[in-house]
Structure 1
Amino acid sequence: MASGVLKGVVRAMRPPFLLLSPLCVLLGIATAVEVGVTPDPRLATLVVLGALLAHGATNLLNEYHDFRSGLDLRTTRTPFSGGSGALPAQPAAAPAVLMAALAGVGLSIALGVYLTLQAGPGLLLVGLLGVVLMVAYTPLITRSALLCLIAPGLGFALIQIGTHYVLTARFNPELFWVALTPLCLVSALLLINQFPDVEADRAVQRGHLPIRLGRPRAARVFAVLVGGAYVAPVAAVGVGGLSAGLLLALLPMPVAGLVAARVMRLARRPQALTPWLGVNVAVVLTTLLLLALGLLLV
């Protein structure tokens, strides 16, 4: 594979954003520890690998579909939206990006089958839903406002839930309270990142929330999701009976509230939102890390 093509594939995978996957695995490890299980390092390593493969494959498929549809040529890229720009800069890499994406899908499925055999059939539903989200996100899910809103967060919540099951061979009801935080935060992250691309996305028949409702109303949904992400740890402690260490995740809440206020204020000026997209990424990563550390260390 030529150097330029290889660089295009790596860039299209969007490596800086892959950090979300191991953080959600760490959160699944933390919930397993919380219910008294000592994680098997070998299984935990395989889960991290599978999560990274699935996440990377999803990014590659998204980049390939957006290049083929012409969307990449319409967007104004920012560090957090509009795609990586890898394929417009290196069109010859498109077949390699597709092959790498399909390889990632295949390998993540193979790992999922192996982990299912190790942990039990309960992982099968989690894995099947994950595969559907991975493969259908760009060509199908982005056409529906509701599905497009829920799917990103659901995918990363499934990483946490699946990790927990692999390590414990059971679903503990209280872990679903914890899963609400990545669900809300990641869905909010993808929602705000859609704001700069409304016109370009509309031109290729996407139908996400900022297109359907307009940016100001979508900004209010963003604020509700952010609020829900920080209500979840309180509910996990108060209702689910989990460790009060989860409340460590509330530390970034003032910054998250500031981001939500700025998004609502600047909703009609998406170019002015770019610095806040970066702050939001930092809030998401910090909150998920603190959520896991709150269970592991407190």
Structure 2
Amino acid sequence: MKALAPDFALHACFRSSRPNFLVLAPLCAGLAVSAAWYDGHSPAGLDILLVMIAALLAHAAVNLFNEHHDYRSGLDSLTTRTPFSGGSGSLPENPAAAGAVRVAAWACLSGVVAIGAGFLWQVGAVMLGYGLLGMLLVVAYTGWLTRRPWLCLLAPGVGFGILMVAGAYQALTGTLSHTVLASSLVPTLLVSALLLVNQLPDIEPDRRVGRDHLAIRLGVRRGSRLAAALVLAGFGVIPLAWLLGALPTGAWLMWLAAPVAVWLAWGLWCLPAEVERGELAPLLPLMGLNVAVLLGSLTLLNAGLLLAG
């Protein structure tokens, strides 16, 4: 196969990292920073920067591994891409870049390990658990976890929520708090809902390459209803945690997005029966709205914690 010019390889790697979606990582890591400031800590600026870089690299690594695996498995040739599912299309257009994308994935993961090693030395052995589980999720998600329905549902939320938020807080402060644990539940639930919805258009292609996730098990309508329940549960964290004293009143700022979240949940719950026969047009606008609800909610929760501090 003809070698790919370095600039084209870099462009393919950049597209395969799905840069449009990488904003999620700093928003999740940002919850750790916001919670730390609310709890009275003053993390060093360099530590905050390193946490943000590690979050971005971890997210990029997941996307790069996913793009490489989906190309090699033949899934890319079976899916119909949407703005929110089906991959970037980078490798089907540039097959010679597959090796470069795989190298980039491992390079990003190596960057996370290097930063994690620094915090391991600085904070202590507690960081090893976050690091090992995080690496397992990054490497095993596409090839292994997508064949285990409940693990596949929970893994994205746990990665971006509990591991990224609580792990970053522990790296910055050396401890945990009720504030950060409650905050981490929001992305845990909302990110799991996002990934479940994004799997719905690819049910048949995923089944053909051997995947076995809840979208396949439940079908489009029941899968979308589970996602609706997860979205509402994510918003339900705020009043419950506030009543228990785990979150400040400022966290209610996230509820400015609640009307849109309810609209999203209603749309997911009431999808017409035609979607089970492959007519996914009613689902596509909801996929975009789902992304907006996730990013908007995390932005508002960050702002609420900062204002409360």
Unaligned runs of at least 5 residues, structure 2: none
Q: Say yes or no: does 1:76 pair with 2:76.
A: no
Find the partner of 1:103 among 77, 102, 107: 107
Q: Say yes or no: does 1:6 pair with 2:10.
A: yes
Question: Which runs of structure 2 are paired with 1:213-232 in the superposition (5 Å)?
Answer: 213-232=218-237
Q: Distance in 2 between matches of 1:110 and 1:242?
A: 33
Cα deviation 1:54-82 (Å, max 9, x = unaligned): 11011000000000000001000000001
Structure 1, 27-36 or 1-10: larger mean CA deviation: 1-10
Alpha-carbon distance, 1:106 to partner:
1.3
Partner of 1:195: 200
Find the partner of 1:181 among 179, 186, 192: 186
TM-score, normalization by structure 2: 0.94
Cα deviation 1:105-139 (Å, max 9, x = unaligned): 11111111111111222221111111110000000
**Is the contact made by 2:31 and 2:180 (CA closer than 8 Å) also made in structure 1?**
no
Paired residue secondary structure (1:37):
coil
Partner of 1:30: 34
- Identical pairs, percent: 46
Cα deviation 1:160-190 (Å, max 9, x = unaligned): 1111111110012342111110000100000
Cα deviation 1:134-169 (Å, max 9, x = unaligned): 000000000011011000111101111111111110
Question: Which runs of structure 2 are paired with 1:247-266 in the superposition (5 Å)?
Answer: 247-266=252-271
Alpha-carbon distance, 1:5 to partner:
1.9
AA partner of residue 203 (structure 2): V
Find the partner of 2:21 among 10, 17, 21: 17
Structure 1, 11-20 or 163-172: larger mean CA deviation: 163-172
Alpha-carbon distance, 1:40 to partner:
1.1
Q: Distance in 1 between matches of 2:52 and 2:179?
A: 22
Paired residue secondary structure (2:178):
coil
Partner of 1:233: 238
AA partner of residue 100 (structure 1): A
Partner of 1:297: 307
Find the partner of 1:287 among 297, 302, 305: 297
Structure 1, 234-243 or 286-295: larger mean CA deviation: 234-243
Find the partner of 2:173 among 168, 177, 184: 168
Paired residue secondary structure (2:282):
helix
Q: Say yes or no: does 1:275 pair with 2:285.
A: yes
AA partner of residue 296 (structure 1): L
Alpha-carbon distance, 1:270 to partner:
2.3
Q: Distance in 2 between matches of 1:47 and 1:182?
A: 17
AA partner of residue 282 (structure 2): A
Q: Distance in 1 between matches of 2:242 and 2:265?
A: 25
Unaligned runs of at least 5 residues, structure 1: none
Cα deviation 1:22-46 (Å, max 9, x = unaligned): 0011110011112110121110000
Q: Distance in 2 between matches of 1:232 and 1:120?
A: 30
AA partner of residue 300 (structure 2): L
Q: Distance in 2 between matches of 1:184 and 1:222?
A: 9
AA partner of residue 268 (structure 2): V
Q: Distance in 1 between matches of 2:269 and 2:75?
A: 26
Partner of 1:208: 213
Q: Distance in 1 between matches of 2:169 and 2:23?
A: 18
Question: Which runs of structure 2 are paired with 1:48-197 in the superposition (5 Å)?
Answer: 48-157=52-161, 158-197=163-202
**Is the contact made by 1:12 and 1:60 (CA closer than 8 Å) also made in structure 2?**
yes
